[in-house]
Amino acid sequence: MSIRTTSLVTGEYYHIYNRGNSKQIIFHDEKDYKYFIKLLKIMNTEKRIMSSRVSDNSVDKKLQENVISIGAYCCMPNHFHILIKQEKDNGISAFIQKISTAYVMYYNKRYNRTGSLFEGKFKSKYAGEDIYLKYLFSYIHLNPLKILDKDWKRKAKSSTRETINFLIKYPYSSFREYYTNQYDVVLKNAFPKYFPSRASFMRDIFSWITLENN
């Protein structure tokens, strides 16, 4: 049994991520992505929610007494990233266990398979320093550019318009929530006020590209 080396402390921020066993695909199509993202909303509660109710419209809403707050997220074909603040003791572990269990049950049923889907326990990195926490917003939101071009970092300076358009249209991350200022999964007020406007969000997210290529 693996032992978590990072203590998850209430009131602190963490980068949470995991991927499929042997880097296998965990999101095959729009239905898979949307189901997982729905779980990010529905399972953020101390209440017990049965996996069979996830598609029920009656529970497709923000619930009170959140155990965590999400600042950013991104789903990729074989992995996911979530920037989380723990709001209640054991909140992150309970939340990730619920969404992982519910998603595996859904996935195994849909694709007629059995067994584990994810590569062991979820991974976590503490984001205690302000500069690292702010950087994570760029790292997570720019992740989908790997789909556009694996060599996007080197080419980014000459293709900024293309990269921006791609990220705006990419439906499986929180980039569009910040870009449109319409928040669904993200609980922006639980995080430092790094991005008071769309302009500041875009400037700070893409400033990381410039730093990486200098």
> Low-confidence residues of the chain, pLDDT below 70?
1-6, 50-64, 152-159, 209-214
Phi, psi angle pair for 212, to nearest 5°? -65, -25
> Which residues on neighbouring strands pair with residue 73, listed in sequence order?
82
Half-sphere exposure of 166 (CA within 13 A, CB side): 16
87/177 Cα distance (integer angstroms): 21
User: In the structure encoding, which two tokens stand for residue 108, read together?
Assistant: 């195994």
Contact 67, 16 (CB under 8 A): no
Residue 6 confidence (pLDDT): 60
pLDDT in tens, 74-118: 999 999 999 999 999 999 999 999 999 999 999 999 999 999 999
113/96 Cα distance (integer angstroms): 21
Fold that domain 13-126 belongs to in CATH: Alpha-Beta Plaits (3.30.70)
pLDDT in tens, 150-161: 776 665 555 577
7/85 Cα distance (integer angstroms): 13
156/65 Cα distance (integer angstroms): 41
**Alpha carbon 130 to chain centroid distance?**
19
Rounded to the nearest 10 degrees, how much is the dihedral formed by the CA atoms of 175, 179, 181, 183?
-10
Provide the residue ranges of all domains of the chain, joining segments of one domain with +.
13-126, 130-212
